[in-house]
Chains A and B, each alone.
Chain A
Amino acid sequence: MTVWSPLAPLQFQFPRPLQFQFLSALHGRGLHASQLTHPHPSTAAAGVTGEMATASEDESAPSRIDEEDESLKLESDVELLKRAWQNEKGAPEILEYQSALVRRSSQQIHLMEDLIEELTKRGDDPLIVSIYQMDLDRAQFLLRSYLRIRLQKIEATMLHVAKTDLWNRLSRQEQNFAQRCIEDMGSHMDESVLSKLPSGYQSNLKQSNASDEDDMVPEPNLNTFVFCKSQNSIGAITLDDSGDEIVDLVAGELYVLRYKTIKPYVERDYVCLWLVKRGSQALNCRHFRLNSKTIFLA
C-alpha cells in the first residue's frame, strides 16, 4: 500500500488517482484518529505545503516511526469504510453498525472540509484543491451511501428487524428511525385497510386470529447468491446442511455462493462481499453447481 506523502505536492504519482489516499497519508504522518478529534490546523496545513515539514516531524519523532509502520500494516479508515459499504450493499440482511468507523470517518471528513476551505482562501493551486475536493466527495459518498443503504434495508424489513436480534445491530438513531417507521406504517395500514376489515382479521402481523404465529412479517432471503472474496485462505466450508458439497475458500479468488453459507465469515470480517459490474471480471469467477442449478453470469 503506497502511503502518498502530501509533503511534495508536485511530485505525487497517480497510481490510482481517484483513490482516497491522502487521508491514509495523514494516518501515516503520525496523526492518529485520536489526534484528529482535536484537529491542529497548523500541522495539517503544514503537511500540504511542506514549509513546516521539519517542525511536524520533530513533534513526536521517536514514536512517529512506529506509528508509520503501524499505519502501513493497518488499513486506512477509507478502505474500512469502503469494505463496510460493499458488505452492506451486497448482503440481503442488515449487518452490524460500524459506529466507531462512522464516527472517525465523519470527523476526518469535517477536518478535510476545513482544510480545503483554508486552502481555497489562501489561493492555493486550484488543481490541487480540486483533487482534494474530489477525494473528499468520494469519501462523503461512501459514508452517505453506507448510511442510506442501511436505512433503506430498515424500511424494507422493519417488522422483521424489530422482532429478531437484528435490532441490536442498529445504532441508536437507526432504532429511533425504525420505531417511527413501524408506527407510521402501522397507523397507515390501520386507517386504510385494517380498521375496515371484520374483527379477527385486523392484525398487522397475523393474517387472522386463527394463525399461530406472525405470518405476515416478510423475512429477507438469506439464500440469495452473492459474490465474495476472502483476504486469507479459510479452507473448506460446507455448502449445505447435509455436508455433501464442500468448497475451499482461497485468498483473493472470487466466488459466487449463497449468502447463508458465508454469513458467519462476513460477520467476523473474514470474507468481503464484492460488487461486480455486469459483463466484467465476473467471468473469471468460479461457478458452483448447487442442486443442479448453475449460476449464469451475464
Chain B
Amino acid sequence: MEQAEMYGRRGCQLVKELASAEPGQLTRFNDDLFNQVIKECNVHYSQFYELTRKMQEEGLDVQFTRNADHFGMLIHHLSLLRNKRCLMAYMYKRADILRSLSWKVGRVLPPEIEGKLSDIEKHYFKNHASALQCYMREMDCLDLTVDMVPPKDPYIKVRVLEDIGVTAIGDKDTNLACHSIHFLKCTEAEPYIMQGMMEELVG
C-alpha cells in the first residue's frame, strides 16, 4: 500500500535545511528539492482548478457552498500558500546572507561561496553590490564597507596569509609576501582582513 504523501513536507525540508546551516553560512542551493516544491504547487493548483470546475458543473456557488469539494479546494489553496511561503523564505534568507556578504567582501565573491549559489543568486549579488557602490558614489565616495568595528588603535600588526605581492599601501609600495608581518593603518588593513588574506596579531 502506498504511503500517503504529506503536503508541504518538501517545503518544510527546504526550510529545515536553512535552519540547520551555521548562522550566516550558505549551503549549496538545493535545485532538486526546490523544483519538487514548485511542481507540488502546480499540482495543487491543477487539482484546485479541477474542483472548481466540478462545483461549477454541478451548478453550485463556488464561493459560498460548503461541501467536501469546497474544503478540498481550501486545503489545496492553503497548501499552496504554505509552499509559497517556504520557497520565499528560502530565497529571501539566502538573499539576506548574500546582502550581508556584499558588505563584507565587496563586489567579488570568494569562489567557495560562488559555487554554492544558483545563477539567479549570483546575478542578485552583483545587482546589490552595484546598488551599494552607487549609493557610496552619491555620498561623495564615502566608503561604508571599512571601519566596521570601532577603532581602538590607529595602527595594527598583521600577518599576511596569502601571497599578495607588491601593493600600494597609503603612499608607499609594500611587498605583501606570504607570512610577512607588517604594521599598517587599520583602514588600510581592514579590506584584506575581511577577505581572509591577512590576520591581526594580538599580544
Which of A130, A141, A192: most chain B CB closer than 10 A?
A: A192
In the complex, the answer to whether A173 meets B139 with C-beta atoms within 8 Å is yes
Residues of chain B from 77 to 108 with CB closer than 8 A to chain A in the complex: 77, 80-81, 84-85, 87-88, 91-92, 95, 99, 103
In the complex, the chain B residue whose C-beta lies closest to that of A140 is B147
B150/A106 in contact, CB under 8 A: no
Flag if B120 contacts A184 (CB, 8 Å): no
A293 close to B (CB within 8 Å)? no
**B42 contacts A198, C-beta separation under 8 Å:** yes
- Using an 8 Å CB-CB cutoff, how does the interface string of B122-156 with A read, 1 for contact, 0 for none? 01100110011011001110111011001101100
Residues 60-91 (chain B) with a chain A CB within 8 angstroms:
77, 80-81, 84-85, 87-88, 91
Contact B135 A177 (CB under 8 A): yes
Within 8 A of B (CB), among A154-199: 155, 173-174, 176-177, 180-181, 184-185, 188-189, 191-193, 196-198
When distances are taken between beta carbons in the complex, the residues of chain A under 8 Å from B135 are 151, 173-174, 176-177
B189 contacts A by Cβ under 8 Å:
no
Contact with A144, one of B77, B88, B120, B146 (Cβ below 8 angstroms): B146
In the complex, A138 has a CB within 8 A of chain B: yes
Q: Do residues A134 and B87 form an inter-chain contact, with CB atoms below 8 A?
A: no
A92 to chain B, nearest CB (A): 17
Are B81 and A188 in contact, with the CB atoms below 8 A?
no
Query: How far does the alpha carbon of A133 sit from the alpha carbon of B188 in the complex, in Å?
Result: 14
The residue that A147 contacts in the complex, of B103, B128, B142, with Cβ under 8 A, is B142
Q: Nearest-CB distance from A152 to chain B (Å)?
A: 8
A32 within 8 A of partner (CB) = no
Asked if A137 lies at the interface with its beta carbon under 8 angstroms from chain B, I say: yes
CB atoms of B151 and A106 under 8 A apart: no
Q: Is B45 an interface residue (CB 8 A)?
A: yes
- Known contacts A144-B146, A181-B128; A188 and B154 CB within 8 A of each other: no
* Chain A contact patch, size range: 35 or more
Q: Which residues on the A side are within 8 Å of B81 (C-beta)? A: 201, 207-208
A196 to B88, CA, bound (A): 12
Which residues of chain B come closer than 8 Å to A133, judged between CB atoms?
154
Q: Is A138 in contact with B146, judged by CB distance below 8 angstroms?
A: no
| Across-interface contacts of B87 in A (CB, < 8 A) | 193, 197
Contact of A201 with B84 at beta-carbon distance under 8 Å, contacts A147-B144, A208-B77 already known? yes
CB-contact partner of B140 in A106, A138, A181, under 8 A = A106
Asked if B118 and A176 make an inter-chain contact with CB atoms under 8 angstroms apart, the answer reads: no
Asked, given contacts A106-B140, A192-B118, whether A181 binds B131 with beta carbons under 8 Å apart, the answer is: yes
Please, which residue of chain A has its CB at the minimum distance from the CB of B155?
Answer: A130
Contact between A210 and B134, CB atoms less than 8 A apart: no
Q: Supply 9 further A-B pairs (C-beta < 8 A) apart from A185-B124, A197-B41, A207-B85.
A: A147-B144, A177-B135, A180-B127, A181-B131, A188-B120, A193-B88, A201-B41, A201-B81, A207-B84
Q: Which residues of B contact A (CB under 8 A)?
A: 38, 41-42, 45, 77, 80-81, 84-85, 87-88, 91-92, 95, 99, 103, 118, 120-121, 123-124, 127-128, 131-132, 134-135, 138-140, 142-144, 146-147, 150-151, 153-154, 186-187
Residues of A within 8 A of B (CB): 106, 130, 133-134, 137-138, 140-141, 143-145, 147-148, 151-152, 155, 173-174, 176-177, 180-181, 184-185, 188-189, 191-193, 196-198, 201, 207-208, 210, 216
Can you show 9 pairs from A to B with CB atoms below 8 A apart?
Answer: A137-B151, A141-B151, A147-B139, A185-B124, A188-B91, A193-B38, A198-B80, A208-B80, A208-B81
